[in-house]
A and B are shown apart, each in its own frame.
Chain A
Amino acid sequence: MTLVGSDGPAPPALAPAPVASVVDLRVHFRSKAGIVHAVDGVSFDIADGETLGLVGETGCGKSVTARSFLRLVPMPPGIQAGGSILFRPHRTCETCSGNGCAVCHESGRVPDACATCEGAGCETCAGSGYLTVDLLEIPEQDLRTIRGNRIAMIFQDPGKALNPALSIRDQLAEVFYQHRSAELLAAAAIDGEAGGPAGTLIRRKAALRSRLLEDALLSLPPLRARRNKLRAAADDRIVAALAETQIPNPRKVMDRYPHELSGGMRQRVMIAQALACDPDLLIADEPTTALDVTVQARILELVRELQSRHRTSVLYISHDLSLVRRVCDRVAVMYAGRIAEVAPAEQIFSDPSHPYTRGLLAAIPATSHERGRLVAISGTVPELINPTPACRFAGRCPFEAPVCRALEPEPKPTRDGHQVACFIHHPPRDAADGVPTFDRQVR
């Protein structure tokens, strides 16, 4: 299966499809006390080119959701209890070569056409006409061609996410060899189709398939020159990637080891690695939490700038609401393994709909307000072991009604374009059985 740059027919100018859709994702964990429903029916879309913030407190399932994209949740103890993550690989729009036109809805990227129906819309692509892969279903082998290539990830602590035994050059070269070996061979002016043992050897080297003995052969004079050309081609790309993240003196930094760099620099290296193959989706798992506040600001700025240049979609995981407000287009608030509210970033702050979101916002200290007591949400996060069908926020919610303990609210659109999972906004249809209807104005 090739997911990269397949030469299918140009897709028709359909409506822009979300680059990824999470549908009813359920990830559970086996524990001694029972099955923990860490993620329990989460659904959301990430539109092409947008930054979606996934916010929630520790243990609400936001990291598990993000890690599920690349199947990084260890199983066991994790259990894939259902749902799917649909991903649509994109490529640069041919009509405008990435500059933005009507065909690509000004985004510069178009999704690959569905291989089965060639854009007509069929079952495999959920009627969209676009190549759609379920990241939870595809074989590991195929997933590897997506990881680091179409979907990349940056981690919380760059100090831990870089191998201490490898130089920066080796860390970055890995991505290019892994996903761009054909381009490297071309750039090094090595005939990628060349037959004979020499051609095979250098191709294997470029694709990271060479073994110890082959490496030894490649370091000997007749093949050495070719290997060095290949290395030089990789180096050029590494330098360009590092320079893009505004690392000064990339040629020198390249030969450093992670422990010789500052936290901010390490995170820049991580970002360079993540964006090396120009992915469609970047998953940022609290990328600035481990950094100083001043460095944080610069890294954030960098992520935003690179995102707008590469037109990459970003899934930004954070527990820091004020930070999310600065970075994200839309925000999804998670609580106890479920989505509480999804809304445009500004609206989440100006007009929060879910009682949990309101509680969170009330708990943020703000300098613009008068001094007063910060409001805390009373109660504690519920146990996620074998939960009963009920609103997860029931028990802590100031607007709780009997129905909240009897039924589970689903996220549904409200008038102002939010998706909210709360009976205040979506009173149960059947009010005849004594279930009270809520008043939208309850505050």
Chain B
Amino acid sequence: MRRVGELIGALLKNPTTVAGLTFIILLLGMAILAPLLTEPNTPDAYQMPRDWGAIAVPPGSPGHILGTTNVGGDVLYGVIWGARTSLRLSVIVVSLTVVVGVTVGSIAGFRGGRIDEILMRIVDVFLSIPELIFALAIAAVLGPSFRNIILALAVVFWVKYARIMRAQIIHVKENEYVDAARVIGDSPWRIYLKDVLPNSITPVVVQATLDMGNIVLVGATLSFIGLSEAGIAEWGVLVSEGQAGISAGRWWASTFPGLMVFLWALGFNLFGDGLRDILDPRTESSR
């Protein structure tokens, strides 16, 4: 696509997206380079290493730059591998939900009629329950594990994409170029792939970017409550572990992972907002 170059140019000119991108790159860099930054724990690198000889030591202690939790977990390790966990969580959930949501929304919008009615009523049911509560309920029913959190979030988050996609398609398929494509003999599937999908996917991309942040936020919340397995290197779990110590002045075990969640969500939200401003059809004509 020729517009990719233009898009990158616009993204780099916008201070919001540059700030968001900076956070994202830092955090992603951390996630990708995790095995190089810290010695991976064995046998499972996603499990926190426990140093029972250094419980709740403050930041700056030898061997534990950011201190440890009151069960001897190294905060730095949790922060770094937590980024990897978050990346795993958000990528899996976003790709699952985008695929399901776009498919459902496309069928509803492109076909219309009764299928549309049925699918959208199902979506309405999902949307009527608040995101966090719904995810909480599902995760709680399935039992505490990280995989169940992924599942719960996927179940909750796909409906937004279905909604967005359907609305976009209904709008786009009214365009005359869709009629023009029929006039040259294109099949409905061809028209969908060539004319409808490329012209309606932009808001989905924006929403996916925003959700990369939101999902980590909600995921950390679920972990914090205790719906993740204990001992996993995850920011929410870490905050939860450090929570008891806050009143005793041991702030570090909660603050550093909390800050990470904040930066992650902030980064993707800034970037997503900027992306929306750039891609918004209303502002497109001014280019």
A residues neighboring B (CB under 8 Å): 70, 72, 144-149, 152-153, 155-157, 160-167, 174-175, 178-179, 208, 257, 270, 273
Contact = CB atoms under 8 A, between A and B. Distances in A.
Residue among B175, B176, B194 with the highest chain A CB neighbour number at 10 A? B176
B186 A157 contact: no
B183 A70 contact: yes
Q: Which 9 A-B pairs have the closest CB atoms?
A: A148-B184, A147-B185, A160-B176, A148-B185, A165-B198, A161-B180, A161-B176, A163-B177, A144-B185
Interface of B: 2, 175-177, 179-187, 190, 194-195, 198-199
A245 to B, nearest CB: 16
B187 A144 contact: yes
Given A163-B194, A164-B199, A145 B177 contact: no
B194 A174 contact: yes
A147 B182 contact: yes
Nearest to B281: A164
A179 B187 CA distance: 12
Residue among A149, A153, A163, A174 with the highest chain B CB neighbour number at 10 A? A163
8 contacts: A148-B183, A148-B185, A152-B183, A155-B180, A163-B177, A164-B199, A165-B198, A273-B180
B176 A166 contact: no
B68 to A, nearest CB: 49
B199 A208 contact: no
Contacts of A167: 2
Contact of B182 (A72, A164, A257): A72
B176 A147 contact: no
A167 B3 CA distance: 11
Contacts of B199: 163-165
A173 to B, nearest CB: 11
Contacts of A146: 185
A72 B179 contact: yes
A157 B176 contact: yes
A153 B187 contact: no
A166 B194 contact: yes
A378 to B, nearest CB: 35
Nearest to B183: A153
A144 B189 CA distance: 13
A161 B187 contact: no
Residue among A155, A174, A257 with the highest chain B CB neighbour number at 10 A? A174
A174 B198 CA distance: 16
Contact of A162 (B180, B182, B186): B180
